[in-house]
Structure 1
């Protein structure tokens, strides 16, 4: 079995390519079914966000797994494979596992340490499970990846430092007010930066918001998003008296807020602190206003300096998570290695119990006078002998599965105990079970797969 990841992300492909390869959420169930039905694909999952489209597959063969995964992607979006191939990133084996762990921990995101991708990866896995396109490998791998992502965020500080200008302003405000609950926010200008900052403030408890803009319609549109109200720039002096937080981002060439009109408003505020964020370039707020004792004024450079410092802090936290990922990969590989030993353990136990059962039949035939109680005692003790004899070999075979030359060691173990026949029956039954599941899901006739059963 081979784990493979094929896809594009914000580092490998421009938005023009990513948008062509973005899956419609409603079509994902059909896409998963189609990918799972491709040759060599045994398990699969699809992670599709604004910054990445990644196909995760377990394939029985590496080359064909890669080929048919890429073919599926091109066919699904009706794109020439050659057009997208230069933008595709392909990871296999340990590199694929490491990539998934980095994704869920937020280390592969545009904003390092962001938590949204963890939820998106979890939803992608749950959908794949629901559609019955995952199996033993991905059920373990994705659960482990999601658990690791949660632990990475809870046990480090990677997601606590603000790394966007808009959120940095919010974090500064928290240091001043403690909480934005009950605080009134005045937004001057209705541009993207003002909107982002207002979104963060609203999410952090600021329920009272007023929007002022030269375009009344834009002010009203933005105000509606936060259950706020719109006002005009002519009422700035009056609104300034009520505000606790002011965000300004207009296209004005002159100061929107001067030292003089701010001073007049401060007299009527009776010492209440005023937190100002000037995101505009050129600046909207006269920098001399910062000299007033009750005003906390920050411009775009102040916020950017905070962002850069926080990015360095996040990078330090990321290094801690890298160590966690290394340990997690080792743990996953150890688990994966044990998969190959399960059929051998089963075969050995079945063979031993078969011998024990045949021995009991012989005893009953040769000693017909034994009572049912005496036979029960004999069955119990002969099974106990089997279990005690198997204990050490079973422990040893599990250890062999984790060694570098595991395959050769397990083959030798199989030869020593002559388990070839039991293993052949085990794999044939597994194949029958798999085909019966296909018949059930696709309502196909067993005759259609008679050749597959014989092989």
Structure 2
């Protein structure tokens, strides 16, 4: 049984191509039904904003890969020559390695992000719900989820902010502790301010206030964030109750100034407020950072956090690679038994069958011979067969755990014209049934 992967992601294709492959939630059931055929045994579809990947198991690699690829091309509605270059189909070993890296956040647009682990889990659970998965995929996805959790636990790769918005949120959490029931004041109605506020809301912020020179734009953004808009001349007064201020205007001068904001900030009596100034030129007059309880960060300080965090994530990624390699080898050793052991068994049966047939022919032609002579001839035949098969079997066992092991097993099957016996097929069923439990 071989693990297959056919997919497209943010590394191989632009968004205008990726969106053609995206499945709406209502379309997933139909996609699973269309993908089920004689060439595919088990299926899991991983569908996110950055990737569409189909993981499958098959007894025939080429037929299985062609089936998955044809489906994706057909679903996209694009010509094969337009999209074939964007689709990837790694070998069995690399497909497993890829899934482990996806679940660990190492293949994400933001290195180490956590959302993808939940998406992998949801994809697996959906497959189980539709009874589309099989024993091999059950084991694979359970291992992938385990690896993803282990990487985050042992490396803390997701604890280091790598964007301005994320860094701002982390600084707010570090300064204020829990963000539950906190109020954020957004100055300026730009994209970065809105994105940062959305991150804050995801982390527990309760209330949003938006202020902008254009009151209409402030109202629009406030509506999107389920907050309220205030006029620009009311900005200073709102500092009395805000816990977090995100300022990112296009002004050429300070908009949060000492002359109009100092008294309001002093009236807080040391109660913590964090001012995050993302603007260039700066929006917040630096002198305000000297007031007790005021924590002021400008874009350079945020960038320092980001640079330090990126280096930390890269270091964590190196550690994560070691974890993945170890788990990959362990899983591949188990998987190797599924495609190598039956082939070796079939190869031995093939040699035994030829030996018996040729011995029968020889004894018939020789006529009456002594038991001793029969024994010598039989021993000779055994020796020839064993020696002929010795190195193919030994080397196949050694190659089983390599990234080309499944291909060697397939080549041996084709070279010798092997067909797995019924008992081997039954053994597959037993293994898969055991993994379903």
TM more than 0.5: yes
C-alpha displacement of 1:103: 0.4
8 Å contact kept, 1:46–1:56:
yes
Q: Cα 1:285–1:59, aligned 2, differ >3 Å: closer, same or farther?
A: same
Q: Which has the higher contact order (CA 8 A, sep 6+)?
A: 2
Residues 167 and 341 of structure 1, relative CA distance in 2, 3 Å threshold: closer
Q: Give the superposition deviation at 1:186.
A: 1.6
Superposition deviation, residue 156 in structure 1: 2.3
Aligned match of 2:358:
none
**Structure 1 residues 429, 102: closer, same or farther in 2, change over 3 A?**
closer
| 1:7 counterpart = 2:12 | no
In the TM superposition, residue 226 of structure 1 has moved relative to its aligned partner by 5.2
Distance in 1 (CA, whole Å) between partners of 2:162 and 2:8 is 24
Deviates more, 1:89-98 or 1:283-292: 283-292
What secondary structure is seen at the aligned counterpart in 1 of 2:252? coil
Q: Measure how far apart 1:341 and its partner are.
A: 8.1
C-alpha RMSD of matched pairs (Å): 3.2
- Structure 1 residue 227: deviation in Å? 4.9
Mapping 1:37-186, distance limit 5 Å: 37=37, 39-186=38-185
Structure-2 change in CA distance of 1:81 and 1:198 (3 Å): same
The answer as to whether partners of 2:340 and 2:397 remain within 8 angstroms in 1 is no
Counterpart secondary structure, 1:141: helix
Deviation (angstroms), 1:401: 12
Contact 1:33–1:131 at 8 Å: present in 2 too? no
Tell me, which stretches of 5 or more residues in structure 1 are unaligned?
348-399, 412-419, 434-455
* CA distance in 2: counterparts of 1:163 and 1:428, whole angstroms: 49
The CA distance in 1 between the partners of 2:264 and 2:305, in whole Å, is: 29
Contact between 1:338 and 1:402, CA under 8 Å: does it hold in 2?
no
TM-score, normalisation: structure 1: 0.73
Residue 237 of structure 2: aligned partner: 238
Distance 1:276 1:185 in 2: 10
Deviation at 1:248, TM superposition (A): 0.9
Structure 1 pair 66–137 and aligned structure 2 pair: CA distance change class (3 A): same
Secondary structure of 1:335's aligned partner: helix
For each residue in 1:201-227, what CA deviation from the matched residue of structure 2 results, as whole angstroms up to 9, or x when unmatched? 233333233221234344334435555
| Residue equivalent to 1:33 | 33
Gaps spanning 5+ residues in structure 2: where?
A: 347-393, 410-417, 431-437
- Partners of 2:76 and 2:181 lie apart in 1 by 49
Q: After superposition, what is the alpha-carbon deviation per residue over 1:317-369, rounded to whole angstroms, capped at 9, x for unaligned?
A: 1122111111111221222133358879x99xxxxxxxxxxxxxxxxxxxxxx
User: Paired residue for 1:404, among 384, 398, 403?
Assistant: 398
CA distance in 2 between counterparts of 1:238 and 1:212 reads: 11
How far, CA to CA, are the matches of 2:424 and 2:173 in structure 1? 62
Shift of 1:230: 2.1
Matches within 5 A, 1:46-445: 46-224=45-223, 227-339=226-338, 403-404=397-398, 424-426=421-423
Q: Is the 8 A contact 1:161 1:313 kept in 2?
A: yes
Rounded Cα–Cα distance in structure 1 between residues aligned with 2:429 and 2:273? 73
**Inter-partner Cα distance in structure 2 for 1:178 and 1:70:** 49
How many residues end up aligned between the 2 structures?
Answer: 369
Does the Cα contact within 8 Å between 1:337 and 1:401 map onto a contact in 2?
A: no
